[in-house]
Amino acid sequence: MRPPLLYHLYVGATAVLVPFFAWIETRKLRAAGVPIVRAHEKLGHATAMREGSGPLIWFHAASVGESMSVLSLIAEMGRQMPRANFLITSGTATSAKMVANHLPPRTVHQFAPLDAPGPLRRFIRHWRPDCVVFVESELWPQMLRLTRDSGAKMILVNARLSETSQKAWKRRPKTAAFVLGTFDLILTQNDEMAQAMVDMHAPADRVARGINLKSLAAPLQQNPETLAKIRTSLKGRRVWVAASTHKGEEEIVLRAHARLLLDNPDLLLLLAPRHPERSKDVAQLIEDQGLSARIRSKGELPGNRDVYLADTLGELGNWYALSNAIFLGGSLKPIGGHNPFEVTLSGSGVISGPEVFNFSETYAEMTQAGVVRFVNDDAELAEAVDKMLNDTALMEATGRAARDYVRGKSSQTSTIATRLIRALHLQDEVR
Catalytic residues: 66
SS3 state at 273: strand
How many other CB atoms are there within 10 angstroms of residue 345's CB atom? 22
Q: Residues near 330 by Cβ (< 8 Å), separated by ≥ 6?
A: 244, 245, 246, 249, 274, 336, 337, 338, 355
Name the amino acid, one letter, at 127: W
Decide the pairing of beta strands 307-309 and 268-273. Answer: parallel
Q: The sheet that has 153-159: what strands, in order across it?
A: 107-111, 85-90, 56-60, 131-135, 153-159, 185-188, 207-209
Decide the pairing of beta strands 326-328 and 239-245. Answer: parallel
How many other CB atoms are there within 10 angstroms of residue 279's CB atom? 18
Give the residue from 176, 215, 162, 189 showing the smallest Cα distance to 341.
215
Backbone angles phi, psi at 90, to 5 degrees: -150, 175
Torsion 76-316-238-330 (CA) sign: negative
The span from the CA of 273 to the CA of 242, in Å, is: 8
The dihedral formed by the CA atoms of 117, 180, 24 and 19, expressed in degrees to the nearest 10: 20
Strand partners, 243: 272, 328
Q: CA 400, 405, 407 angle in degrees (round to 5)?
A: 95
